[in-house]
Structure 1
């Protein structure tokens, strides 16, 4: 596996999908057919190679992104299998940041589901070429054409069917290749290892002819050679079609769509062929861009002769070697023993080992070149999103954005002996997962852990107890509220200390509300004669620090502009510390004057409900103060409800929904935005937090 391979024969891809679309099952078949594994692992049996964590095996879901490498037809494919549950969206985000192509797996029954949309738009953000694989064609309700329609309507994609299914549900027999113009049959006795070709069945010839014409017509829009032959009704060869599809895919004009049933061992080898044929090699992607010391945009071309440049996109704790830093190399080479520079931290790092990963197994290699993805051992300062470059060079690649947690729980050690172990374990998990936060409640002194949802925190607590063997008591989930202001306000404070070393700082601040989602902003409107620059820097630090604890209930403050509008200093007595204290007091006064309000996380909710249970489910949603945005009927007797609901109303919803629908309904939920809490509810929350009720 460690043999050298040309850049043109390398593919870095991710497998992404909504939960239960069959993403990990598809990856397991890829490993089996490529010879990387000699036995098919199954998610439902808890022995999938890519789901190696105990929690993944027990729940039958992917939680962390697992990396592996396989070879197919003299090409090397680095694969990252990503989670499909919304609570682990960050795992998908940081993997997409370093991938060149993506295979999006869709369920032939559910089509484009909520998390499919989320990860698709994440891929849009990074401009990543994609293939689509419509999986589970053997399931009742499977509909290939409806999936294509949903891709157009819900994703804004331009799907290009390169295959047709032969039958569906229990009658799914194989696929018709629209390019080679033949039917592919997958031998059940060899678990699909043997693929044979047959003539297209008579009853499918008409559908095939129309689909191939549609393919050529769409391709003609993007390729002059195909257009010429199509208009002149000349035959278009398979090689020419593949070349045109590849160019249009890399240019983000088209999304080739294939179909099959990974669980039934049908359609996976053509998917591997499509990865090689249509998705880009590292040499096909544009040079990676970053900034130099002066903030000027600089770039690095993919190539071994360029200066080394790479991105650490994930950190993982390892019981044997310490911390593993997963790295994507964009340019140049690195070897074991090399020293590299981290311009984000301003630190030099030494690479002690390089490991190619296969889920949780590893293979040692001596060097990495452009396009490679591997784990480094020995890095002491680097964290997720940091750039590494050659010593003496300087480039900082675009850094990652991490979502704000929306849910918290209190956690405390069971004994004094567990206290240190708990703190160390939480620090390690925080390093691995930037969407997980640890804080201390200013009033109670309790340790709070915060994450993206109930499942996210449930998994972390489970890891603490089992993997890190920490004895801990855990509280009930709490909503991560925020604060903002609803009007303008002014605050002023003069800090004077005359005992001991004299200190002086005088600050006048004005606050005003910003649009939702704007975050925080600080501006200085005073001259250097009023307050020198060194103290303005201290005031700015004091502002951002104080905004972590609002004037209403001590929650983080957002969507606020803070302006320094006045103040004074003493030549001898003024200190940064004095200005920090004055800033904190002035800001609190200003925020109280600006009518602070409470914000709560709102969740986008999509529920698939049997028509017979609609009345009960909607009645329950109304009690949760949900806003129903729409409903859509499905052919299988189900309705899809699209709603927005406060997170505070959703604890325990899974149990209530099962009860209301006799276990037949299911839902997905993702963070939408923060919104102001209604006054009546806000008053109750304030009283509860203050211990008045």
Structure 2
């Protein structure tokens, strides 16, 4: 093995590289490459001593890291995450420091996919830029489905990875590895955003420079808060007419209740938008080149000096409210240095106290690279994020996971997808290393599975790898699991929390047009359910229909169309049905006896107690308050089963029951005739009678509806909403357009899209999101009950 030459030692010392010489110092001294006399010379000795010192520090650190790691692997609960992080091997720490796991999320049509396309181009991941609705019909890289390219919207989240090279403060190139997930903006596909944010360390929240914070922006903000995801913000579409980035900054502060400040000032706006001024470096940045691939740095234009000074003062003032170091400087009336500002922005962003706001135009290829710099400067690496698991071996005690390759493996499956090679499972590796051919254990069912293939995803393309380290994202083949399952290497009894899954709000009946397609129809239904937790399939035995449920009309329409394209199954669908609910009215006592004797063993079960509202519409509750053992434990289990079955299909209109509490406090059994079946049936009968005697009500889903249209159509839109029984909560009036926030019954919103287009000459748009359940108007309840009774009578005739 050759020892480093004198020139190389000098280069390492001068350039500040931390990589140590491979040989021991004494070996190096004996080397013919470097003489003892040369080492003692005044020109070389300092450089050599510097490298030796770095090497010695690394050797000591590695030794300490090994000891800590050994203790952690032997007994994970004895060491804290902080202790392991503090003693990471320098090589491992350096690797993690250069990793970013981010998502791009926003309201629909804010430019997420267009922005992602530029990120991939500027990082060298793709060789040419294609637009979402481009004339070349190729479509953006991340929109891999034909339906996405045809409709110009993102339907499924798509994962990719790229490397971004950024110069550090010493002018040395630093390469960062970025795992990126592009998410849909339409509310119907919110589960894609939900599960992406569950496994990411940071995010870029994109806003439109004209519209600012919109309805889905608020939803995405809520999802980011749910999983404690730090974010930077990017105000896109600065080249559009009416662009006002500072309005967006104000709305982040006021509507999202997140302290925010611009870290850039635009140079021009609308069709005169040229670039940005960086408030940290105080330089003007312009994109040059055919596709804006090069960044040109200039002095700040004189006409912007006052605006820049004002906005920098606002940035410092906002940071002073959330960061102690800047607050101290602010009180002392000292100007923070660029390094102090960057460090404060990073601290405040990672601690979820602040979001820096960048601005640019992805479509015009302007100011995307500074946003990428913001990703690596201000968003956390995997070691800076707290990820928790529950240790099943220690009564579900909370354990912090450490993104260290040598620790036992822990990963989370967050997305399933069918491919030509079988089921593809996306996994975030939180701890340890996932290797090809390794056995992993599913914490949910304790099944052991082998990992035959590991790939990195680039939209719909794959790159095969042999292993994936901690803090990374990959996909594996041949692993049978469900979305949200935790995997370990078997040494640890850890499980991680899954993602939040909203309940479907709309349903419709579906069947294949031709009976010969029944097998493919069943395959499609099974696959779509496995991939999408918000897509539900049930079979109504009374109507003998297959019912699909989802988050909205578009959601279900997409799956019907995918069935036709991917499985060649044409389907007939019924009218969309609202997911109504039923709830109890008042407290009702019950004392129900089920007694049947038909020769031989009969049925005998007596249940006593009461039913009442729970006080909220979130759940149902079954409570047993038996004293003296009048009903045995196994029969009480049967009573609870009967209660749960009754709640699945209420007696009023056949929909699910919410907000109902059943208490069983007494009863009676027979020595030979009592059975679990008898008590289940008795409970169901008691439930039905008590429920109908309680003055029950039908609940309807109310939707948060946001309508935006040009100002001249405001009266027509309000009239349209009033006609549909909407409750208008707020109205915002801008220069050229207005926005109405309303609560609307889902039942009243069918066909609203067509009516809105007609009333606004095609210029209006709206979004809906489930808000809550509320009692339906009395007339609607009467109609639904009458319709259900009639349908029941017709079925009984058959």
TM superposition score normalised by structure 1 = 0.95
How do 1:168-317 and structure 2 match up within 5 A? Answer: 168-187=269-288, 189-232=289-332, 234-293=334-393, 295-302=395-402, 303-317=404-418
Moved more, 213-222 or 529-538: 213-222
For residues 584-626 of structure 1, give each alpha carbon's deviation from its aligned partner in whole angstroms, at most 9, with x where no partner exists.
2222222122222111111111111222212222112111111
Query: Residue deviations 1:167-214, cap 9 Å, x none?
Result: 110110100000111100001x42110110111001001111122222
CA deviation after TM superposition for structure 1 residue 663, in Å: 1.4
Matched residues in 2 for 1:350 and 1:493: separation?
Answer: 54
Secondary structure of the structure 2 residue equivalent to 1:247: helix
Q: Is the 8 A contact 2:236 2:361 kept in 1?
A: yes
Moved more, 364-373 or 112-121: 364-373
Check the 8 A contact 2:654/2:788 in 1, yes or no: no
C-alpha distance in 1 between matches for 2:689 and 2:445: 36
| Alignment correspondent of 1:606 | 706
1:405 and 2:500 matched: no
2:594 aligned to which of 488, 494, 502 = 494
CA distance in 1, matches of 2:721, 2:208: 27
Which of residues 620, 633, 636 is equivalent to 2:720? 620
* Residue 43 (structure 2) aligns with: none
CA contact (8 A) 1:490 1:593 kept: no
Aligned to 1:54: 146
Q: Which of 753, 767, 774 in structure 2 is aligned with 1:668?
A: 767
Shift of 1:231: 4.8
Question: Relative to structure 1, is the Cα distance of residues 234 and 591 closer, same or farther in structure 2, using a 3 angstrom cutoff?
Answer: closer
* Range moving further from structure 2, 357-366 or 282-291: 282-291
- For the Cα contact (< 8 Å) 1:496–1:505, is it kept in 2? no
Q: Which runs of 5+ in 2 are unaligned?
A: 1-90, 166-174
Contact 2:593–2:604 under 8 Å retained in 1:
no
Aligned-pair distance for 1:350?
2.3
Distance 1:509 1:321, change over 3 A: farther
More displaced 10-residue stretch of structure 1: 104-113 or 483-492: 483-492
2:199 is matched with: 98
Question: Contact 1:300–1:306 (CA<8 Å) still a contact in 2?
Answer: no
Query: Equivalents in 1 of 2:739, 2:578: separation in Å?
Result: 26
Q: Identify if the C-alpha distance between structure 1 residues 628 and 374 changes in structure 2 by more than 3 Å, giving closer, same or farther.
A: same
Q: CA deviation at 1:229?
A: 4.5
- Give the aligned partner of residue 81 of structure 1: 182
Kindly indicate whether structure 1 or structure 2 has the higher relative contact order, using CA contacts under 8 Å at least 6 residues apart.
1
Note the aligned Cα RMSD (angstroms).
2.0
Alpha-carbon contact 2:283-2:297 (below 8 Å) kept: yes
Match for residue 123 of structure 2? 34
- CA distance 1:325–1:576, shift in 2 (3 Å): farther
Alignment check: 8 A CA contact 1:509 1:586 kept: no
Q: Which residue of structure 1 aligns with residue 549 of structure 2?
A: 450
How many pairs align?
A: 687
1:431 and 2:521 correspond: no
Q: Which residue of 2 aligns with 1:109?
A: 210
CA-CA distance at 1:501 after TM superposition: 5.4
Q: CA deviation at 1:536?
A: 1.8
Aligned to 1:327: 427
Q: Using the TM superposition, give the Cα deviation of residue 494 of structure 1 relative to its aligned residue in structure 2, in angstroms.
A: 1.8
**Other-structure match for 1:136:** 237
Tell me how far 1:572 sits from its aligned partner.
4.4
- CA 1:356–1:528 in 2, change beyond 3 Å: closer, same or farther? farther
Gaps of 5+ in 1: none
Cα 1:539–1:528 shift into 2, 3 Å = farther
The residue that corresponds to 1:23 in the other structure is 112
Q: Tell me, what secondary structure is at the counterpart of 1:547?
A: helix
Worse-superposed segment, 459-468 or 505-514: 505-514
Query: What SS does the aligned partner of 1:117 have?
Result: helix
CA contact (8 A) 1:288 1:330 kept: no
Conserved in 2, the CA contact under 8 Å of 1:488 and 1:593? no
TM normalised by structure 2 equals 0.83
**Deviation of residue 392 (structure 1)?**
4.2
Q: Which residue of 2 aligns with 1:630?
A: 730
Q: Would the aligned equivalents of 2:386 and 2:400 in 1 still touch at CA under 8 Å? A: no
